[in-house]
């Protein structure tokens, strides 16, 4: 499988090079040359397959022969070694829980898959690779955990100071070893811009790659969730509508990829907080990125989502075709808190702020009788303890995965400018 830059000014490249480079030389993100639908027989009999078998079928064409089949199956086995349950919330609405991995966030899947791919590609290379990543919350912890002590790989994580939750910050600043945390005086978009600039800076004396969802090995495995949900819900015999809490739009883009592979999904909803660049675009046809604004659903505080260009490519840049399959709605913090309270009152379910935004997306869409709505619960509510416990009459028990970082000393280097990032990279 070859990949091309969506800026179309760089040569096409292999899966291996796309993973190692992260971003094309023309600053475009990579996209697969071909998408071949899976067999109808496989989709129709999906209940007969294990999660590992489903994931292998979904991803194998995008890897090709660059990783041996036996190795790829081992990578997948490790990647999906936890549960992905759909929990019913009310009639015709369920939540797909994606927080049962080691850092209790949906990004565990992509981080684990990418780290294993990169380790395989770097197995005979004496040259160290530096994984450079920007995070608005959960990516940092997932990447730090996924790459911890990986041979020949260093990780540098940029995160916006004061704009991630305490637990999220601890997950990315307390591991040490090959993990370095840079606390940026700014917002997530500033972190993301620094990372993209570094990739093209020839004065940086390191081999850099990205572990954000711009990297194909971080982005594509997110398709797995949608297949797993369909496997569980197929017996409902209803058309599926997915509402995805969206920041950088990698997760929902992966869902659309699953649909292109033949997974029957009727409609996608990108549910966002007040960072409403995409919902405005669908309304007026003008794509105007804006500085991100801080909210209680901080992992979605993105004003210029990197993966939206991939979504446009999947619809051949046809706005009307996109709108037929894809909607986007924006919600305030106040409405999000009311949704958390409503979900808890009606069902006893504790949703985190991101999941609540996903639920609101389904409410806004207004499901028909023959439709079943699924909203993604992308992180465990414990990661947003202050918001959840001040919004709901609950006290959340700290899971074992989180206890490991509570009480550990935070270690981060504060930076303000790109030059400080470059100095830090060249000094290592």
Which residues are the active-site residues?
107
3-state helix, strand, coil in the chain (%, to 5): 45, 15, 40
SS3 of residue 3 by DSSP = strand
Contact 216, 3 (CB under 8 A): yes
The pair of structure tokens assigned to 281 is 């675009």
Q: For residues 328 and 245, what is the distance between their CA atoms, to the nearest angstrom?
A: 10
Q: For residues 35 and 248, what is the distance between their CA atoms, to the nearest angstrom?
A: 22
What are 160's strand-pairing partners?
184
Q: For residues 265 and 240, what is the distance between their CA atoms, to the nearest angstrom?
A: 5
**Which of 312, 111, 125, 64 has the alpha carbon at shortest distance from 217?**
111
**Which of 201, 188, 149, 139 has the alpha carbon at shortest distance from 425?**
201
Cβ atoms within 10 Å, residue 70: 8
Count Cβ atoms within 10 A of the Cβ of residue 285 and give its class: 0-12 exposed, 13-18 middle, 19 or more buried.
exposed
Contact 278, 270 (CB under 8 A): yes
**Which of 20, 113, 122 has the alpha carbon at shortest distance from 75?**
113
Q: For residues 68 and 112, what is the distance between their CA atoms, to the nearest angstrom?
A: 18
Q: For residues 134 and 210, what is the distance between their CA atoms, to the nearest angstrom?
A: 9
Find the angle CA(82)-CA(224)-CA(100) to the nearest 5 degrees.
25
Matching residue, tokens 């041979």: 151
Sheet strands side by side (includes 207-210) = 207-210, 129-134, 153-160, 179-184, 413-415
CA atoms within 13 A on the CB side of 367: 25
Residue 82: its H or E element = none
Q: For residues 271 and 406, what is the distance between their CA atoms, to the nearest angstrom?
A: 31
């Amino acid at each position: 499988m070859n990949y091309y830059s969506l800026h179309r000014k760089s040569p096409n490249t292999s899966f291996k090079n796309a993973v190692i480079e992260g971003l094309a030389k023309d600053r475009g993100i990579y996209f697969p040359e071909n998408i071949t639908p899976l067999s109808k027989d496989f989709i129709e009999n999906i209940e007969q397959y294990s999660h590992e078998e489903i994931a292998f079928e979904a991803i194998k064409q995008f890897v090709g022969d660059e990783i041996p089949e036996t190795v790829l199956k081992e990578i997948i086995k490790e990647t999906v070694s936890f549960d992905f349950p759909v929990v019913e919330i009310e009639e015709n609405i369920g939540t797909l829980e994606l927080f049962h991995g080691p850092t209790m966030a949906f990004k565990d899947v992509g981080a684990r898959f990418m780290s294993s791919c990169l380790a395989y590609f770097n197995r005979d290379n004496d040259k160290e690779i530096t994984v450079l990543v920007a995070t608005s919350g959960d990516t940092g912890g997932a990447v730090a955990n996924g790459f911890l002590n990986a041979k020949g790989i260093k990780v540098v994580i940029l995160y916006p100071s004061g704009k991630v939750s305490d637990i999220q910050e601890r997950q990315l600043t307390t591991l040490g070893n090959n993990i370095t945390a840079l606390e940026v005086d700014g917002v997530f978009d500033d972190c993301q811009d620094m990372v993209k600039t570094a990739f093209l800076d020839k004065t940086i004396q390191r081999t850099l790659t990205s572990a954000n969802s711009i990297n194909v090995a971080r982005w594509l495995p997110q398709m797995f969730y949608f297949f797993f949900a369909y496997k569980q819900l197929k017996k409902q015999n209803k058309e599926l509508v997915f509402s995805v809490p969206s920041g950088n739009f990698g997760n929902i883009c992966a869902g659309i990829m699953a649909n292109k592979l033949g997974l029957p999904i009727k409609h996608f909803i990108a549910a966002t907080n007040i960072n409403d660049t995409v919902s405005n675009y669908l309304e007026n046809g003008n794509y105007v990125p804006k500085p991100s604004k801080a909210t209680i659903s901080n992992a979605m505080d993105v004003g210029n989502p990197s993966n939206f260009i991939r979504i446009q490519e999947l619809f051949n840049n046809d706005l009307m075709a996109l709108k037929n399959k894809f909607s986007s709605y924006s919600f305030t913090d106040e409405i999000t808190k009311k949704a958390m309270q409503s979900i808890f009152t009606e069902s006893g379910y504790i949703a985190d702020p991101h999941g609540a935004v996903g639920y609101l997306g389904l409410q806004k869409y207004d499901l028909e009788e023959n439709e079943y709505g699924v909203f993604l619960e992308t992180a465990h509510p414990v990661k947003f303890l202050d918001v959840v416990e001040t919004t709901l009459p609950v006290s959340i028990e700290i899971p074992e995965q989180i206890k490991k970082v509570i009480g550990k000393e935070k270690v981060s280097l504060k930076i303000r400018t790109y030059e400080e990032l470059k100095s830090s990279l060249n000094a290592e």
